[in-house]
Amino acid sequence: MSALRVTLAFRVVAAGWLLGWFCKAGYYARALLWDDFAARLDVAGFSPLVQYPLLIAVAWLAPLAVVPALVWPRPRAQQAAAALMLVASLVACIHLETFNDATFVTSFWVALWLLWLTIVAPIADEATTLRHARRLAQCIVGVIFLGGAMGKLTPEHIDGDVLLHVYFLGKDTFPYPQLRGALTPEHLAALARAFSRIVIVAELLLAASPLLPFRISTILGATIMTLMIAGSSLYLVSVLACLLALLGGAALLSAAGGTRPLRT
């Protein structure tokens, strides 16, 4: 596979990954670099390792070191950058200061794809790399939304109770206060139920990504994820930016031109 295509895909995916990782920097910079040191968390029963403030502060900042690999693309630098992204997201997934943020779960799975690409692309033939790069990207999108969809197959989601309370009654951002003002409680509950079912169906469609042709799953994935961001909150950018970039990067592997051989 040409170095140009791999570099282009690497840049797109890594840039989207970094966008998601750092787009809540306003919150995390203060929480992880200041508050956690001033008032350290001590949760009984958990290893001190997953509560150590310095560990998560370093893990959160570490992906800044990925930037040089975007600017000066060398196979070894790309591999090291992808490995760093994988380790940083693994730490963020298990650390008690960040364990709840889905950003780091999606980041982990996308970093795994990037590491695979940077290991395989320099040595595999183009057809093999392309076939598995696309299929693995579809599988990763699929497994992430499969987990979300299966977790919602419970009466509280199917009947809309969770969406009603978390969003329609619980949020003070547009359009929820307006909806509360305009609709009766019964209509609000019916709307929440309808939206909840739409979300479950949308997640099941994304979960089926590996079963669909790559082009269709990419268009479907990009459309649904963009609608999720628009319909939920911009905070979802942090969770979905890396997945959108993953689909874009996998698509670019076959779409981009260039025949320069990889320097290994």
Partner 1 sequence: MVPRDIRRVRVATMLVYAIVGAFALASLALPWSRALQREAMAAHQLEPRALPRWVALQLWPKMYGFAHRVYVSERPLSPAVIAAEPLPADVESAWVNHYPARYVRFDTRRRELVAAGTELHVVVRSRYRGLEASTAYTVHGAGRRLVVERAR
Q: Can you tell me the distance from the alpha carbon of 224 to that of 228, in angstroms, rounded to the nearest whole number?
A: 6
Binding segment for partner 1 among 7-15, 69-77, 112-120, 214-222 (CB under 8 A)? 112-120
What is residue 46's three-state secondary structure?
A: coil
44 to 83, contacts with partner 1 by CB under 8 A?
44-47, 49-50
| Whole-Å CA distances, 24 to 33, 214, 238 | 13, 31, 7
C-beta of 144: minimal distance to partner 1 in Å? 4
Q: Rounded distance, CA 172 to CA 180, Å?
A: 10
What is the nearest approach in angstroms of partner 1 to the Cβ of residue 67? Answer: 25
Torsion sign over Cα 3, 75, 73, 24? positive
Among 59, 136, 224, 225, which residue interacts with partner 1 (rule: CB under 8 A)? 136
**What x/- string results for residues 149 through 168 when contact with partner 1 is judged by CB under 8 A?**
-xxxxxxxx---xx--xx--
Choose, by CB under 8 A, the member of 33, 74, 147, 219 that binds partner 1: 147
Contact call for residues 107 and 84 (beta carbons, < 8 A) = no
- 220 phi and psi angles, rounded to 5 deg: -60, -45
Phi first, then psi, for residue 130 (nearest 5°) are -65, -45
Q: Rounded to the nearest whole angstrom, what is the least distance from the CB of residue 71 to partner 1 in the complex? A: 26
- Residue 228: which residues within 8 A CB-CB, separation 6 or more? 199, 202, 236, 240
| Identified binder of partner 1 from the candidate list 87, 105, 204, 219, rule CB under 8 A | 105
Q: Which is nearer to partner 1, 45 or 257 (CB)?
A: 45
Q: Give me the 28-47 binding string for partner 1, x by CB under 8 A, dash otherwise.
A: ---x---x--xxxxxxxxxx
Tell me whether residue 144 or residue 251 sits nearer to partner 1 (CB atom). Answer: 144
- DSSP-based three-state secondary structure for 122: coil
Q: Which residues bind partner 1 (CB under 8 A)?
A: 31, 35, 38-47, 49-50, 90, 93-94, 96-97, 99-100, 102, 105-106, 108-109, 112-113, 116, 119-120, 123-125, 128, 132, 136, 139-140, 142-148, 150-157, 161-162, 165-166, 170, 239
